[in-house]
Amino acid sequence: MALPDQSTPVVAPHNRLLAALPPEEFDKLRPGLDLVDLELRTVLHRADDVIASVYFLESGWCSVLASMQDGDSAEVGLIGPEGLVGLPVLLGEDSSELEVMVQQPGRALRLGTAAFREALDSLPAFRTLLLRYALAHHLQVARSAACNGRHQIDQRLARWLLMAHGRAQSDTYAMTHEFMSMMLGVRRAGVTVAAGVLQRAGMIRYGGGRITIEDRPGLEASSCRCYAASRRAQDRLFAPASAPRQEHRR
CA nearest 140: which of 189, 218, 87, 216? 87
Instruction: Enumerate the domain spans of the chain.
Output: 3-117, 152-223
Terminal CA-CA length for the chain? 47
Cβ(197)–Cβ(191) under 8 Å? no
Burial zone of 198 (CB within 10 Å; 0-12 exposed, 13-18 middle, 19+ buried)? buried
pLDDT digits (tens, 9 = 90+) for 74-132: 788 899 999 999 999 999 999 999 999 998 899 999 999 999 999 999 999 999 999 99
The pLDDT of 24-51, averaged and rounded, is 95
Flag whether pLDDT at 162 surpasses 60.
yes
- 1-26 burial, b at 16+ Cβ within 10 Å, e below that, comes to ebeeeeeeebeebbbbbbebbeeebb
pLDDT of res. 241: 54
pLDDT of res. 158: 87
Distance CA 68, CA 74 (A): 7
pLDDT of res. 216: 92
Flag whether pLDDT at 203 surpasses 90.
yes
Flag whether pLDDT at 240 surpasses 80.
no
Q: Do the domains 152-223 and 3-117 match in fold? A: no
Percent of the chain residues past pLDDT 70, beyond the cut? 89
pLDDT of res. 246: 46
Q: Which residue has the higher pLDDT, 82 or 168?
A: 82
Q: Which residue has the higher pLDDT, 94 or 70?
A: 94
Q: How far is CA 8 from CA 16, 31, 35, 36, in A?
A: 19, 13, 7, 10
The pLDDT of 20-32, averaged and rounded, is 95
Q: How confident is the model at residue 4 (pLDDT cuts 50, 70, 90)?
A: very low
The pLDDT of 149-158, averaged and rounded, is 80
Flag whether pLDDT at 171 surpasses 70.
yes
- Four-way CATH pick for 3-117: 2.60.120.10, 2.60.40.1180, 3.40.50.2300, 3.40.50.1110: 2.60.120.10
Q: Which residue has the higher pLDDT, 234 or 135?
A: 135
pLDDT of res. 12: 80
- Four-way CATH pick for 152-223: 2.40.50.100, 3.30.1490.70, 1.20.120.420, 1.10.10.10: 1.10.10.10
Question: Comparing 22-36, 65-79, 202-216, which segment has the lowest mean pLDDT?
Answer: 65-79
CA angle 234, 237, 241 (to 5 degrees): 145
Distance CA 222, CA 198 (A): 9
The pLDDT of 24-35, averaged and rounded, is 95
The pLDDT of 134-153, averaged and rounded, is 80
The pLDDT of 189-200, averaged and rounded, is 87
Average pLDDT, the chain: 85
The pLDDT of 188-202, averaged and rounded, is 87
Cβ(144)–Cβ(77) under 8 Å? yes
